[in-house]
Amino acid sequence: MNNNNDKTEDIPLWVALLPLAILMTLLAGAVSIFGDNASSGPSQISLIIAAGVTCVIGLVRGQKWKDLEGAIVEGIMHAMPACLILLMIGSLIGSWMLSGTAPAIIHLGLGILDPAWFYPATMIVCALVSVSIGSSWTTAATVGLALIGIAHILGLPVEITAGAVISGAYFGDKMSPLSDSTNLAPAMVGVDLFVHIKHMLWTTGPSFILSLMLFVWLGWNNGNIVVEGNSIETARTLLEKNYALGFPAFIPLILLLILSIKKVPALPTIAFGAVAGCLVAALYQTDATRHFGDAAGDLSNATGIIKGIWISVATGYEANTGDVALDQLLSRGGMSSMLNSVWLIISAMCFGGSMECTGLLSRIVHTALKGVHGTGSLIITTVLTSIGMNIIAADQYIAIVLPGRMYQMEFKRRNLAPENLSRTLEDAGTMTSALVPWNTCGVFMATTLGVPTFHYLPYAFLNLFNPIIAIIYGIFNIRITMLEETVPQES
């Protein structure tokens, strides 16, 4: 693709920053006017307008519309796997609600989790699951979603619970050798996978401990929250009355964990989990499934079951337990519930693709590099660039790949071992992706957990601490490996 912008130094910096400034202004206005509903249209329009401004700048600079359009389409195509996973997650949630899988996990959690230790337990459980399967998305959509449900019933703030879920899920996503981002970062800069993971422990370990301490402190404050014992028992009794909660209800979760551990790709893994949920709904929750599909009793048994499964997968499950709060908690899922998120991702990719094609993104990065004078400033620049990529390009993988490509030679020139770069890419690129409302990861977490990004952001402690600790390590030269330390000595 001929972009006519191989040289970006001639672009005035204010021109490069203009679309970003317009985007931030529009997004701030959208949040101010629409509040939590900003992501249901206003945010998408803001991203499209910013992309339009970027394209106008490109056209004024002599670029062809065909090239700009191609870059936008390429960006959207890059996000298609994430969009497909979102749609499949919607079907999985719907089928797991119908099959009793999610209610069974909630029922189990209500019986064993103490409110005083709920937040740290949530973080630890999600961390263990995510390390085992290497996926923050799958962890949040299964165990995380159930823990959000438990928090609702216990009367605990769901935004803090979501922060604990995301903190734990991203610890595993970052530290698991099964994670795609954990494999991508070292591959980008030529580092052994386990050298990379070992090096990350120095920044991620303290971040995890600090986060856990904060969640323990917040959990102790739950002693001031009066949780009615009979309300918990009422919820458990209603779940037992409306669902069969035996071992078969857990089969979809067990299957999903097995497939993830065996490194089956995310999309087929989630698809198999959704199919398993449908089968359990048909064979184990037969009466409930038939009633959901045919409340009036006008259809045959088989047709009612098929219709119930079809509806739960397509438009979501609607509970009817007799308790309004519990029904609201369990009524969710369906592919259609993810369409707004897909719209947001496509809009973000339009902006990111146009920024890259016009060279405005490169201009901003080149300016940032001029401020690099030592190891500390290089680490800071890498962290800020990765965060910027998550904001502008709206994709975690781009936030790892592009800064990795851009700064690889600079790290080498300064005699810094490449594992310093791969660690920093994950400390910032992986960890902050869920904190941006229009990033694919932020969209997924907010949609799946039902908690707006800006609500859980202050409590996603691990994701907030990790880039800060990376910067501190860079400034004070803590655990920074020099290049000669990793080069094998000749005998």
Structure confidence by residue, pLDDT tens digits, 211-258: 999 999 998 876 555 555 556 788 888 999 999 999 999 999 899 888
What's the pLDDT at 487? Answer: 47
Q: Residues of the chain with pLDDT > 70: what percent? A: 95
What's the pLDDT at 486? Answer: 54
Task: Name the token pair of 292.
Answer: 């959901």
What's the pLDDT at 82? Answer: 79
Output the pTM of the full model.
Answer: 0.79
Query: Running along the chain, 491 residues long, what does each successive block of 10 average in pLDDT?
Result: 54 92 88 78 90 95 94 87 86 92 87 86 92 85 89 90 96 85 84 90 96 93 56 84 92 88 83 95 94 87 94 93 83 89 86 89 82 90 92 83 82 93 95 92 92 95 97 94 63 32
- CA–CA dist 20, 56 (Å, integer): 14
What's the pLDDT at 489? Answer: 41
Q: Is 486 helix (H, G, I), strand (E, B) or coil?
A: coil
Q: Whose CA is closest to 5, among 323, 280, 300, 362?
A: 362
Domain boundaries, the chain: 82-337
- CA–CA dist 466, 464 (Å, integer): 6
32-54 burial, b if ≥16 CB within 10 A, otherwise e? eeeeeebbeebbbebbbbbbebb
What's the pLDDT at 224? Answer: 54
- CA–CA dist 81, 178 (Å, integer): 18
What's the pLDDT at 389? Answer: 85
What's the pLDDT at 276? Answer: 96
What's the pLDDT at 269? Answer: 87
What angle (nearest 5°) sits at the alpha carbon of residue 320, between those of residues 318 and 322?
Answer: 150
Strand partners, 482: 416
Structure confidence by residue, pLDDT tens digits, 291-324: 999 888 888 889 999 999 999 999 999 988 888 8
Q: Is 334 helix (H, G, I), strand (E, B) or coil?
A: coil
Alpha carbon dihedral 290, 292, 298, 299, in 10-degree steps, equals -40
Query: Using an 8 Å Cβ cutoff, are 117 and 260 in contact?
Result: no
482 backbone dihedrals φ, ψ, rounded to 5°:
-85, 155
Query: Using an 8 Å Cβ cutoff, are 281 and 95 in contact?
Result: yes
- 55 sits in the region (left: phi over 0; alpha: psi -120 to 50; else beta) called alpha
- CA–CA dist 119, 215 (Å, integer): 5
